[in-house]
């Protein structure tokens, strides 16, 4: 549960856009602008988090296209965000973007309208895709998947912890906890006893095991994913990603590394590395929640009857017994969680879940 009364939400970004010229259909260009902002949302929210004052309001950024989709010029047309340095940060980031996907000609101008404001789920509403726009923060914590972000209690919760090089997170007592905890390092590192835990490494903590102090190594920023799910295991184990076997996923142009194999964990956490066009066919898990964090790359993911376009920084929760499939748009890495574990065994030729049944024809 989040700490009551201490919520400090990072402003949500509602993506909308339209061209500043009339050479193309407004709706089509608006969709392309949205797609560009979604693909670069980590840049946008990095600027939001680094702003010198609270961000809430609107901003218009004008971009002039150069040759080959490059940005010739970018400037802030209007800033009512109150974000101090936010505009300068966004302009600097946008200048490095490849805007070929906008299908605009050199010399054309495109306006990126951005609206920053908190976005909450309506009462009774549930969410599958949790983009960065709706992930709230409390200090260094950002909540990816929990009851508030998805609208019901998931079988595992996922949050991100980001510490500056001069920050530290003290140890946390978990003597009364009945949850296992997994710490997956995205960037940086820290010391745990005599061992160094770095990017791609995992620390598994059984129920009742205290979370260690986190002191960024060599004063460099530390970013990690914290996963919690019900479990009765005990103890503590460090898993170095470089030591984990990689299994090819049959017919999918992707590989899986089972990061918690052999630890005694009840949940399962995998790294999925996929090539462009890698495809996971429609299937479902009868008793497990599947939760995904998109470390890099984009995908088209279908859950039930809904299809979502994902980008790096997004999280997605697939409830048990719901059919789903995925196709990667480009090369990427996805952190996959099963709570409880089991379906991951198919990656090494073990037990497999049943494919989703096709509906019978009415003919």
Is 6 domain-assigned? Answer: no
Q: Are residues 34 and 63 in the same domain?
A: yes
- Residue 124 falls within a domain, yes or no? no
Q: What are the angstrom distances between the C-alpha of 354 and each of 258, 287, 324? A: 20, 11, 12
Dihedral sign of CA atoms 262, 184, 272, 150 in order? positive
For residue 330, the 8-state DSSP code is: S
**Shared-domain flag, residues 164 and 210:** yes
What is the separation of C-alpha 77 from the centre of its chain, rounded to a whole number of angstroms?
Answer: 30
Is residue 223 predicted with pLDDT exceeding 60?
yes
Query: Residue 1 has what pLDDT?
Result: 55
CATH number at residue 337: 2.60.120.10
**Interatomic CA distance for residues 131 and 125, integer angstroms:** 16
Pair 248, 228 in one domain? no
Domain co-membership, 292 together with 261: yes
What pLDDT shows up at residue 51? 85
What are the tens digits of pLDDT across the range 108-132?
999 998 888 767 788 889 999 999 8
Query: What is the rounded distance in angstroms from the CA atom of residue 89 to the CA atom of residue 32?
Result: 22
DSSP letter assigned to residue 142: E
Ramachandran area for residue 120 (φ above 0: left; ψ -120 to 50: alpha; else beta): beta
Same domain, 236 and 264: no
Number of domains in the chain: 3
Render pLDDT for 34-53 as a digit per residue (tens, 0 to 9): 899 999 999 998 898 888 88
258 found inside a domain: yes
Q: By residue range, what is the domain housing residue 87?
A: 13-116
Rounded Cα distance between 274 and 96, Å, is: 25
Q: Tell me what pLDDT residue 3 has.
A: 53
Q: Are residues 294 and 266 in the same domain?
A: yes
In a domain, 356, yes or no: no
**Which of the pair, 261 or 137, is modelled with greater confidence?**
261
pLDDT band at 21 (very low <50, low <70, confident <90, very high): very low
63 and 102 housed in the same domain: yes
Domain finish residue from 88, 116, 144: 116
- 337-362 pLDDT per residue, tens: 999 999 999 998 744 444 555 544 44
Residues 219, 252 within the same domain = no
Angle between helices 41-49 and 86-94 (to 10 degrees): 160
Q: Is residue 359 part of a domain?
A: no
Task: Output the pLDDT for position 248.
Answer: 93
175 and 202 belong to one structural domain:
yes
Segment 250-277 shows an average pLDDT of 94
Q: What average pLDDT does range 212-228 have in this prediction?
A: 96
* Average pLDDT value over all residues in the chain: 88
Does a structural domain hold residue 57?
yes
221 plus 250 within the same structural domain:
no
Whether 234 is in a domain gets the answer yes
Out of 224, 240, 256, a domain closes at 240
**Same domain as 168, residue 157:** yes
Q: Are residues 174 and 220 in the same domain?
A: yes
- Is there a domain that residue 139 lies in? yes
Which of 116, 141, 164 terminates a domain? The answer is 116
């Amino acid at each position: 549960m989040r700490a009551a009364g201490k919520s400090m939400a990072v402003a949500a970004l509602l993506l909308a856009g339209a061209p500043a010229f009339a050479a193309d259909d407004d709706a089509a260009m608006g969709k392309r602008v949205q797609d560009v902002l979604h693909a670069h949302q980590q840049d946008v929210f990095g600027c939001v988090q680094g702003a010198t004052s609270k961000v809430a309001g609107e901003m218009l950024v004008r971009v002039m296209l150069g040759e080959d989709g490059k940005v010739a010029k970018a400037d802030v047309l209007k800033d009512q965000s109150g974000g101090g340095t936010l505009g300068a940060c966004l302009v600097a980031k946008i200048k490095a973007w490849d805007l070929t996907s906008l299908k605009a000609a050199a010399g054309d101008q495109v306006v990126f309208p951005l609206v920053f404001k908190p976005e909450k789920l309506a009462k009774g509403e549930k969410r599958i895709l949790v983009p960065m726009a709706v992930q709230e923060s409390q200090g260094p914590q950002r909540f990816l998947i929990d009851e508030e972000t998805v609208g019901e209690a998931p079988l595992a919760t996922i949050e991100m912890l980001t510490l500056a090089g001069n920050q530290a997170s003290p140890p946390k007592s978990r003597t009364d906890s009945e949850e296992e905890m997994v710490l997956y390092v995205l960037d940086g590192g820290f010391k745990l006893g005599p061992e160094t835990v770095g990017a791609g490494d995992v620390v598994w903590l059984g129920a009742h095991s205290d979370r260690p102090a986190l002191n960024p190594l060599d004063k460099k920023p530390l970013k990690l994913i914290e996963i919690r799910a019900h479990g009765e295991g005990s103890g503590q184990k460090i898993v170095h990603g470089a030591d984990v076997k990689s299994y090819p996923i049959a017919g999918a142009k992707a590989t899986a590394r089972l990061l918690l194999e052999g630890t005694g964990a009840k949940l399962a956490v995998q790294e999925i590395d996929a090539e462009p066009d890698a495809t996971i066919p429609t299937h479902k898990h009868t008793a497990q929640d599947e939760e995904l964090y998109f470390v890099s790359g984009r995908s088209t993911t279908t859950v039930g009857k809904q299809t979502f376009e994902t980008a790096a920084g997004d999280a997605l929760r697939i409830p048990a017994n719901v059919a789903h499939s995925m196709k990667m748009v480009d090369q990427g890495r996805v952190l996959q969680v099963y709570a409880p574990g089991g379906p991951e065994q198919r990656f090494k030729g073990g037990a497999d879940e049943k494919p989703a049944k096709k509906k019978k024809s009415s003919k």
